[in-house]
């Protein structure tokens, strides 16, 4: 008996999600499959039959799966249900996912754990929009093995031509989503009568392929994990713990492997250290028994050869194959929120084990779930699929989903609820990373002996950057110089970096092409950070037309960066034209002039908006002074 149990425990466990449009027979198919496999609890069939009799409804195989009374009352599956069964060679966890569009988030929750999927298509109704959306979600979740079950063949007279047509349609649609046709199998079934469930039935002699259970028995669990094992290392730090003298970084290896002695780089931050030990639980009594190598799928702890500040959410990688450091990405998302996603809205993005505040910058287009055609839209409504550009307030370590599925997906949270999930596309965004490595190799960063808090205490206030952005003529320089004077008279260490002034020296070699504008803001951003670290309140007055450049400075400066939009529309600024530049630009004398022949990208979520079109200068200064004094006030003796 012990030997038999040991053999049984060695059976591979395969998790399979059953997905598809509502009323296409998922629960019916699964109920029949469990019955034929003898996997139902004793008395379950009788209890459901009695319940149907008591309620005055006809017995349905689906009722064997529907765990909630609301589901039986409405005849639909609301929540994902997990049940177990086994054959001679496999142990299965079957996941019955809801098909109704109102419960698509529940479907994602169920499918996220699966190794493979059975995608159901009603032989009579054909390929429906919800089935197409489910197919997209299966791809998003990294599922690659799909069995297409064309159900209810009895309703079409077991017609082979109908099966062949639907099989071709679904296979082609899956191929358009990136599925490998060799890993997609199609089978005709009639679940009520058990046709092609455990064995091939008599009603469809033209079908000579395997029965459903034979397809399931052929699945190999962990294929995605096996693919990840050959990928570059991605060790996700989930917690940092101090035991005795050891500082243990606990986490999970999502891809690749690591070994004692390996040099690991942790991003964001690019801090490095060598693996001193690999810790597992339960703790080994003899340290010599600790493993020296760990691979994909393992949850471990590691210690490093030197102390380094590494936080939850950091991604460990070998230095030669790090993730990208970005503060912007394109996400192909599925939206679950009851309120539409709109440009400028803020969300919490959960990426790996990290959490980042992001702004939905641009909705590039909404996709049709069927043919993936694209259309413009001002918002993304519930259950829609869309390509959206997000920007974060700091650097994120990420991979494109095509390069690393395990670290190339994310979820979005609003009001403590998951409102969306998506795949990462970095085309056009990797180059935006401003945290370039120095060209020189033999340099070391010098650490100051005076920390920031000492400088703040000496000055009597905190430091930071007030970044004024707006069109030429909006009033940036006027307000910046007046604010500088007001703060200086109050004893603050303050200085203005003005756009025209820096182009007489620091940026004298730069013009106004997009590349030169980008470099101009990069240099000014670096200088502003140096001055802020020296204890100054730095006020910058630059058009800084590109949102990506401003966000790049924010990503490096962190909480010290405060974006202030000096807002005045183009007509107002052109009427003012204090330097006569608009007149010259209209005459063609100044090429690439912002607002006329070059774009200005207004901030989506600035810390402060100053409307100079409708407010007097003194009123604007009063608001700015109040903001600065509140922001840079030393609280609690900091």
320-374 per-position pLDDT tens digit: 999 998 888 999 898 988 899 998 888 999 999 888 888 898 899 998 766 667 8
Domain's final residue, options 317, 341, 357: 317
CA-CA distance, 407 to 254, in Å (whole number)? 8
Query: Are residues 462 and 529 both part of a single domain?
Result: yes
- State the helix-helix crossing angle for 160-176 and 129-140, rounded to 10 degrees: 40
**Per-residue confidence (pLDDT) for residue 74, from 0 to 100:** 40
Query: Are residues 280 and 417 both part of a single domain?
Result: no
Query: Are residues 373 and 392 both part of a single domain?
Result: yes
**Per-residue confidence (pLDDT) for residue 211, from 0 to 100:** 92
> Which CATH number do you get for residue 261?
2.40.30.10
pLDDT tens-place string over residues 88-105: 888 888 887 654 444 455
pLDDT tens-place string over residues 222-279: 666 677 778 899 999 999 888 777 789 999 999 999 999 999 999 887 888 999 999 8
DSSP sequence for 225-276: HHHHHTSPPEEEEEEEEEETTEEEEEEEEEESEEETT-EEEEETTTEEEEEE
Residue 573, domain member (yes or no): yes
Residue 385 contacts residue 133 (beta carbons within 8 Å)? yes
Query: Are residues 358 and 378 both part of a single domain?
Result: yes
Mean predicted lDDT score pLDDT of the chain: 83
pLDDT tens-place string over residues 314-335: 999 999 999 998 888 999 898 9
pLDDT tens-place string over residues 69-81: 333 344 444 345 6
pLDDT tens-place string over residues 394-440: 788 999 988 888 888 899 999 888 899 888 999 887 654 444 555 55
Indicate the range of 15-19, 25-29, 186-190, 251-255 predicted with least confidence. 25-29
Average pLDDT over residues 451-463: 90
Q: Output the CA torsion 312→318→319→323 (10° steps).
A: -60
List of residues 6+ apart from 216 with CB closer than 8 A: 14, 16, 87, 90, 92, 147
Tokens for 462, please give them.
């905190």
**Per-residue confidence (pLDDT) for residue 3, from 0 to 100:** 35
φ, ψ of residue 81 in degrees (nearest 5): -120, 135
pLDDT tens-place string over residues 587-615: 888 888 888 888 898 988 899 999 999 89
Residue 303 contacts residue 246 (beta carbons within 8 Å)? yes
Domain's final residue, options 292, 317, 342: 317
Total structural domains in the chain? 4
**Per-residue confidence (pLDDT) for residue 434, from 0 to 100:** 42
Domain's final residue, options 317, 334, 359: 317
Using alpha carbons, select from 161, 323, 307 the residue that is nearest to residue 236. Answer: 323
Query: Are residues 265 and 338 both part of a single domain?
Result: no
Task: Give the count of alpha carbons within 13 A of 133, CB side only.
Answer: 26
pLDDT tens-place string over residues 506-532: 998 888 887 788 889 999 999 999 999
Query: Are residues 243 and 371 both part of a single domain?
Result: no
Query: Are residues 466 and 571 both part of a single domain?
Result: yes
**Per-residue confidence (pLDDT) for residue 452, from 0 to 100:** 85
**Per-residue confidence (pLDDT) for residue 103, from 0 to 100:** 43
Query: Are residues 398 and 534 both part of a single domain?
Result: no
Query: Are residues 169 and 287 both part of a single domain?
Result: no
**Per-residue confidence (pLDDT) for residue 97, from 0 to 100:** 67
pLDDT higher than 70, residue 13? yes
Range of the domain at 163: 2-221
């Amino acid at each position: 008996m012990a030997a038999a149990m040991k053999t049984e425990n060695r059976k591979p466990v395969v998790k399979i999600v059953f997905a598809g449009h509502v009323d296409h027979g998922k629960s019916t198919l699964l109920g029949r499959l469990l019955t034929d496999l003898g996997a139902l609890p004793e008395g379950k069939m009788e209890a459901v039959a009695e319940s149907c009799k008591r309620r005055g409804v006809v017995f349905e195989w689906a009722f064997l799966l529907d765990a909630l009374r609301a589901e039986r009352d409405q005849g639909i599956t609301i929540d994902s249900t997990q049940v177990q069964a086994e054959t001679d060679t496999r142990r299965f966890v079957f996941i019955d996912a809801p098909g109704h569009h109102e419960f698509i988030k529940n479907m994602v929750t169920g499918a996220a754990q699966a190794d493979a999927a059975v995608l159901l298509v009603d032989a009579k109704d054909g390929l429906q929009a919800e089935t197409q959306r489910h197919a997209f979600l299966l791809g998003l979740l990294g599922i690659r093995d799909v069995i297409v079950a064309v159900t209810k063949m009895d309703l079409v007279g077991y017609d082979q031509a109908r099966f062949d047509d639907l099989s071709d349609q679904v296979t082609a649609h899956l191929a358009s989503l990136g599925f490998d046709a060799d890993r997609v199998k199609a089978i005709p079934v009639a679940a009520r009568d058990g046709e092609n469930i455990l064995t091939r039935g008599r009603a469809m002699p033209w079908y000579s392929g395997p029965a459903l259970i034979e397809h399931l028995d052929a699945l190999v669990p962990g294929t995605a994990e096996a693919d990840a094992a050959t990928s570059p290392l991605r060790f996700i730090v989930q917690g940092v713990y101090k035991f005795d003298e050891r500082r243990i970084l606990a986490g999970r290896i999502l891809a690749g492997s690591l070994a004692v002695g390996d040099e690991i780089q942790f991003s964001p931050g690019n801090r490095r250290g060598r693996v001193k030990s690999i810790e597992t639980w339960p703790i080994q009594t003899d340290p010599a028994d600790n493993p020296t190598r760990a691979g994909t799928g393992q949850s471990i702890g590691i210690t490093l050869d030197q102390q380094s500040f590494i936080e939850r959410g950091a991604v460990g990688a070998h230095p030669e194959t790090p993730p990208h450091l970005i503060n912007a990405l394109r996400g192909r998302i599925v939206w679950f929120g009851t309120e539409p996603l709109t440009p400028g809205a803020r969300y919490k993005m959960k990426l790996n084990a990290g959490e980042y505040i992001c702004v939905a910058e641009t909705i590039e287009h909404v996709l049709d779930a069927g043919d993936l055609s694209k259309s413009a839209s001002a918002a993304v409504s519930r259950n829609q699929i869309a390509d959206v550009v997000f920007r974060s307030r700091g650097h994120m370590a990420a991979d494109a989903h095509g390069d690393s599925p395990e670290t190339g997906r994310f979820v979005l949270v609003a009001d403590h609820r998951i409102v969306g999930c998506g795949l990462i596309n970095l085309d056009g965004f990797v180059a935006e990373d401003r945290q370039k490595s120095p060209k020189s190799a033999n340099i070391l960063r010098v650490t100051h002996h005076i920390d920031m808090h000492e400088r703040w205490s000496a000055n009597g206030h905190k430091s930071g950057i007030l970044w004024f952005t707006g069109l030429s003529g909006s009033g940036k320089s006027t307000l910046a110089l007046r604010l500088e004077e007001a703060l200086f008279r109050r004893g603050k260490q303050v200085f203005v970096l003005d756009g025209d002034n820096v182009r007489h020296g620091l940026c004298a070699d730069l013009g106004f092409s997009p590349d030169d504008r980008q470099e101009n803001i990069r240099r000014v951003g670096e200088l502003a950070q140096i001055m802020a670290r020296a204890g100054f309140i730095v006020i910058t007055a630059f058009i800084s037309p590109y949102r990506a450049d401003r966000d790049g400075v924010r990503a490096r400066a962190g909480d010290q960066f405060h974006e202030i939009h000096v807002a005045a529309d183009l007509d107002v600024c052109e009427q003012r034209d204090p330097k006569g530049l608009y007149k010259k630009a209209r005459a063609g004398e100044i090429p690439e002039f912002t607002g006329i022949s070059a774009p200005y990208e207004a901030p989506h979520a600035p810390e402060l908006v100053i409307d100079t079109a409708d407010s007097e200068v003194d009123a604007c200064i009063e608001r700015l002074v109040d903001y600065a004094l509140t922001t840079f006030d030393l609280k609690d003796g900091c």
